[in-house]
Structure 1
Protein backbone atom coordinates (compact mmCIF):
# COMPACT_ATOMS: atom_id res chain seq x y z
CA UNK A 1 0.00 0.00 0.00
CA UNK A 2 2.75 2.43 0.94
CA UNK A 3 4.72 1.75 -2.24
CA UNK A 4 1.66 2.27 -4.44
CA UNK A 5 0.88 5.48 -2.56
CA UNK A 6 4.43 6.80 -2.97
CA UNK A 7 4.69 5.94 -6.65
CA UNK A 8 1.28 7.26 -7.64
CA UNK A 9 1.66 10.45 -5.60
CA UNK A 10 4.45 11.50 -7.98
CA UNK A 11 2.40 10.41 -11.00
CA UNK A 12 -0.55 12.38 -9.63
CA UNK A 13 1.49 15.55 -9.39
CA UNK A 14 2.47 15.24 -13.03
CA UNK A 15 -1.12 14.53 -14.05
CA UNK A 16 -2.32 17.61 -12.18
CA UNK A 17 0.31 19.74 -13.90
CA UNK A 18 -0.61 18.36 -17.33
CA UNK A 19 -4.41 17.96 -17.16
CA UNK A 20 -5.61 19.66 -13.98
CA UNK A 21 -6.98 18.06 -10.81
CA UNK A 22 -10.20 16.50 -12.15
CA UNK A 23 -8.79 13.48 -13.97
CA UNK A 24 -6.56 12.25 -11.11
CA UNK A 25 -9.42 12.79 -8.63
CA UNK A 26 -11.82 10.80 -10.79
CA UNK A 27 -9.30 8.00 -11.23
CA UNK A 28 -8.58 8.00 -7.49
CA UNK A 29 -12.27 7.72 -6.64
CA UNK A 30 -12.64 4.78 -9.02
CA UNK A 31 -9.65 2.99 -7.48
CA UNK A 32 -10.84 3.66 -3.93
CA UNK A 33 -14.30 2.35 -4.79
CA UNK A 34 -12.82 -0.82 -6.33
CA UNK A 35 -10.64 -1.35 -3.26
CA UNK A 36 -13.56 -0.81 -0.92
CA UNK A 37 -15.68 -3.27 -2.88
CA UNK A 38 -12.87 -5.80 -2.68
CA UNK A 39 -12.89 -5.45 1.11
CA UNK A 40 -16.57 -6.39 1.17
CA UNK A 41 -15.69 -9.89 -0.02
CA UNK A 42 -13.28 -10.66 2.84
CA UNK A 43 -13.86 -13.74 4.94
CA UNK A 44 -11.65 -15.92 7.16
CA UNK A 45 -10.46 -17.87 4.11
CA UNK A 46 -9.55 -14.95 1.86
CA UNK A 47 -6.28 -15.49 0.03
CA UNK A 48 -3.37 -13.29 1.04
CA UNK A 49 -2.84 -12.23 -2.58
CA UNK A 50 -6.40 -10.94 -2.82
CA UNK A 51 -5.99 -8.95 0.39
CA UNK A 52 -2.65 -7.55 -0.77
CA UNK A 53 -4.21 -6.56 -4.09
CA UNK A 54 -7.01 -4.71 -2.32
CA UNK A 55 -4.49 -2.79 -0.23
CA UNK A 56 -2.41 -1.92 -3.30
CA UNK A 57 -5.50 -0.59 -5.07
CA UNK A 58 -6.46 1.48 -2.01
CA UNK A 59 -2.88 2.79 -1.78
CA UNK A 60 -2.96 3.72 -5.46
CA UNK A 61 -6.19 5.61 -4.91
CA UNK A 62 -4.78 7.52 -1.95
CA UNK A 63 -1.63 8.25 -3.93
CA UNK A 64 -3.63 9.76 -6.77
CA UNK A 65 -5.57 11.95 -4.35
CA UNK A 66 -2.43 13.54 -2.92
CA UNK A 67 -1.58 15.87 -5.81
CA UNK A 68 -5.02 17.28 -6.62
CA UNK A 69 -6.06 17.81 -3.00
CA UNK A 70 -2.83 19.61 -2.16
CA UNK A 71 -3.07 21.70 -5.31
CA UNK A 72 -6.68 22.67 -4.62
CA UNK A 73 -5.97 23.46 -0.96
CA UNK A 74 -2.95 25.64 -1.70
CA UNK A 75 -4.05 27.37 -4.89
CA UNK A 76 -6.60 29.67 -3.30
CA UNK A 77 -4.62 30.81 -0.26
CA UNK A 78 -2.09 33.54 0.33
CA UNK A 79 1.51 32.41 0.73
CA UNK A 80 1.54 33.05 4.50
CA UNK A 81 -1.21 30.43 5.02
CA UNK A 82 0.26 27.74 2.72
CA UNK A 83 1.91 25.80 5.55
CA UNK A 84 -1.34 25.58 7.48
CA UNK A 85 -3.25 24.35 4.42
CA UNK A 86 -0.57 21.77 3.63
CA UNK A 87 -0.62 20.48 7.19
CA UNK A 88 -4.41 20.28 7.21
CA UNK A 89 -4.57 18.32 3.95
CA UNK A 90 -1.82 15.97 5.09
CA UNK A 91 -3.56 15.31 8.41
CA UNK A 92 -6.89 14.74 6.67
CA UNK A 93 -5.30 12.28 4.24
CA UNK A 94 -3.60 10.37 7.06
CA UNK A 95 -6.85 10.22 9.02
CA UNK A 96 -8.68 8.91 5.96
CA UNK A 97 -6.04 6.25 5.41
CA UNK A 98 -6.21 5.16 9.05
CA UNK A 99 -10.00 4.97 9.02
CA UNK A 100 -10.07 3.05 5.73
CA UNK A 101 -7.40 0.49 6.55
CA UNK A 102 -8.34 -0.30 10.16
CA UNK A 103 -11.09 -2.90 10.10
Structure 2
Protein backbone atom coordinates (compact mmCIF):
# COMPACT_ATOMS: atom_id res chain seq x y z
CA UNK A 1 0.00 0.00 0.00
CA UNK A 2 2.86 2.37 0.72
CA UNK A 3 3.96 2.32 -2.93
CA UNK A 4 0.56 3.59 -4.13
CA UNK A 5 0.58 6.29 -1.46
CA UNK A 6 4.08 7.43 -2.40
CA UNK A 7 3.33 7.47 -6.14
CA UNK A 8 0.12 9.48 -5.57
CA UNK A 9 1.96 11.97 -3.33
CA UNK A 10 4.84 12.40 -5.77
CA UNK A 11 2.48 12.80 -8.71
CA UNK A 12 0.36 15.38 -6.87
CA UNK A 13 3.53 17.31 -5.99
CA UNK A 14 4.72 17.30 -9.62
CA UNK A 15 1.23 18.39 -10.70
CA UNK A 16 1.36 21.37 -8.33
CA UNK A 17 4.72 22.45 -9.73
CA UNK A 18 3.58 22.07 -13.34
CA UNK A 19 0.34 23.93 -12.68
CA UNK A 20 2.16 26.81 -11.01
CA UNK A 21 4.28 27.19 -14.14
CA UNK A 22 1.27 26.94 -16.45
CA UNK A 23 -0.85 29.40 -14.45
CA UNK A 24 2.05 31.84 -14.46
CA UNK A 25 2.39 31.65 -18.26
CA UNK A 26 -1.35 31.72 -18.94
CA UNK A 27 -1.88 34.57 -16.46
CA UNK A 28 0.95 36.55 -18.05
CA UNK A 29 -0.56 35.93 -21.48
CA UNK A 30 -3.96 37.12 -20.27
CA UNK A 31 -2.43 40.27 -18.78
CA UNK A 32 -0.66 41.00 -22.05
CA UNK A 33 -3.33 40.06 -24.63
CA UNK A 34 -6.64 40.17 -22.68
CA UNK A 35 -7.76 37.04 -24.51
CA UNK A 36 -10.72 35.03 -23.19
CA UNK A 37 -8.85 31.89 -24.22
CA UNK A 38 -5.89 32.76 -21.98
CA UNK A 39 -8.27 33.66 -19.13
CA UNK A 40 -10.07 30.32 -19.51
CA UNK A 41 -6.78 28.42 -19.43
CA UNK A 42 -5.62 30.37 -16.37
CA UNK A 43 -8.89 29.72 -14.52
CA UNK A 44 -8.73 26.02 -15.41
CA UNK A 45 -5.17 25.95 -14.09
CA UNK A 46 -6.13 27.70 -10.84
CA UNK A 47 -8.97 25.26 -10.14
CA UNK A 48 -6.83 22.22 -10.97
CA UNK A 49 -4.02 23.68 -8.85
CA UNK A 50 -6.44 23.99 -5.93
CA UNK A 51 -7.49 20.35 -6.31
CA UNK A 52 -3.91 19.10 -6.43
CA UNK A 53 -2.76 21.35 -3.57
CA UNK A 54 -5.64 20.04 -1.44
CA UNK A 55 -4.73 16.43 -2.32
CA UNK A 56 -1.11 17.12 -1.41
CA UNK A 57 -2.22 18.67 1.89
CA UNK A 58 -4.28 15.58 2.69
CA UNK A 59 -1.45 13.21 1.70
CA UNK A 60 1.31 15.06 3.58
CA UNK A 61 0.05 17.36 6.32
CA UNK A 62 -3.36 16.37 7.68
CA UNK A 63 -2.54 13.89 10.47
CA UNK A 64 -5.88 12.07 10.53
CA UNK A 65 -6.52 11.79 6.80
CA UNK A 66 -2.94 10.96 5.80
CA UNK A 67 -2.88 8.10 8.32
CA UNK A 68 -6.26 6.88 7.10
CA UNK A 69 -5.20 7.03 3.44
CA UNK A 70 -1.94 5.23 4.23
CA UNK A 71 -3.54 2.38 6.18
CA UNK A 72 -7.30 1.92 5.70
CA UNK A 73 -8.05 2.72 2.05
CA UNK A 74 -8.47 -0.47 -0.01
CA UNK A 75 -5.76 -1.24 -2.55
CA UNK A 76 -8.13 -1.03 -5.52
CA UNK A 77 -9.08 2.52 -4.54
CA UNK A 78 -5.42 3.49 -4.21
CA UNK A 79 -4.61 2.07 -7.62
CA UNK A 80 -7.43 4.13 -9.12
CA UNK A 81 -6.43 7.34 -7.33
CA UNK A 82 -2.78 6.83 -8.20
CA UNK A 83 -3.66 6.17 -11.84
CA UNK A 84 -5.67 9.40 -12.02
CA UNK A 85 -2.82 11.43 -10.53
CA UNK A 86 -0.27 9.87 -12.88
CA UNK A 87 -2.48 10.35 -15.96
CA UNK A 88 -3.01 13.95 -14.91
CA UNK A 89 0.78 14.39 -14.65
CA UNK A 90 1.24 13.14 -18.21
CA UNK A 91 -1.53 15.44 -19.42
CA UNK A 92 0.05 18.41 -17.67
CA UNK A 93 3.49 17.55 -19.07
CA UNK A 94 1.95 17.63 -22.54
CA UNK A 95 0.30 20.99 -21.78
CA UNK A 96 3.63 22.40 -20.57
CA UNK A 97 5.30 21.19 -23.75
CA UNK A 98 2.58 22.73 -25.95
CA UNK A 99 2.55 25.98 -23.95
CA UNK A 100 6.29 26.51 -24.11
CA UNK A 101 6.62 25.48 -27.76
TM value normalised by structure 1: 0.47
Q: Which has the higher helix share?
A: 2
* TM-score, scaled to structure 2: 0.48
Greater relative contact order (CA < 8 Å, ≥ 6 in sequence): 2
